[in-house]
A = this chain, B = another copy of it.
Amino acid sequence: MHAYEFLNKVPHSKTSSTGLSMILDKGLGLNNASDLVQSAGEYIDFIKFGWGTAATVESDLVIKKNKIYHDNKILTYPGGTLLEIAIQEKKLDLFFKETSRLGFNAIEVSDGSTSLSKKIRDNVIFLAREKGFFVVSEVGKKNPLLDHKISIETRVSQIHSDIASGSNFVIIEAREAGKNIGIYDESGNIISQELDILAEIGTDKLIFEAPLKKQQVDLILKFGPQVNLGNIASTDAISLETLRTGLRGDTVGKVK
């Protein structure tokens, strides 16, 4: 039973199929992984083992964390950077096998640190789906200089193309820091123009990386609590949920 169940709040849970939350695990040990699901497990839809962190620890730790997360019905995947490196090294098949062996059930397809032709990108999405993985693809570059060169038209076109190729969701890149990248300016504020165009095409299939609280607040106030948000710090998982449900000052009385 929840505490304070008699209070009205915006209904939200991951079984309601709206308002997905993706949390960033950047190297948690088992005590912290266990604490994370104990307090916030019922609200977390995805946990990403950020960038190449999954390849930096013992298999055993990855397998155990995946088990803890799956027991709480959370989809998990290694960061897209790791897939990019595997593709560069022409080891895609090994990558899929290892990712399965470690217990991940999703794959992130990105070209944030490298370049992929549309043909290869589409094919990787297709193959990952065929192997049985849930697939999230990511639009954006890690390097702000390169990221700023992507026109909003190109972003929109890649979103459509990814979904056509089989992506379950498309992530809008913002990295761990959330500044000077994607839909955010140098201070981490939303660039309205970019966001409006994304809003036009619909946000059901989009996950906005939004590591900063003000980004979470602004996106929830614009799109409602059902907006999909990602790259949330593991220590902010519960805070995000209070924002969605109207239990933090920033959204009290402003969401429904």
On whether the beta carbons of B26 and A238 are closer than 8 Å, the reply is yes
| Chain B residue contacts of A43, Cβ below 8 A | 56
Binds B, one of A14-22, A57-65, A193-201: A57-65
Binds B, one of A86-94, A123-131, A149-157, A222-230: A86-94
On whether the beta carbons of B241 and A56 are closer than 8 Å, the reply is yes
| Chain B residue contacts of A94, Cβ below 8 A | 6
| Chain B residue contacts of A158, Cβ below 8 A | none
Partner of A3, one of B50, B59, B237: B59
On whether the beta carbons of A52 and B242 are closer than 8 Å, the reply is yes
Q: Mark A39-51, 1 if CB is under 8 A from B, else 0.
A: 1100100000011
A8 within 8 A of B: yes
On whether the beta carbons of B51 and A247 are closer than 8 Å, the reply is yes
List 25 A–B pairs whose Cβ atoms lie within 8 Å, in order of A's numbering: A1-B59, A2-B58, A4-B95, A4-B98, A7-B85, A7-B89, A8-B89, A26-B236, A29-B38, A29-B39, A31-B31, A31-B32, A38-B61, A50-B239, A51-B242, A51-B247, A53-B242, A53-B247, A56-B247, A85-B247, A88-B253, A113-B249, A113-B252, A114-B252, A176-B213
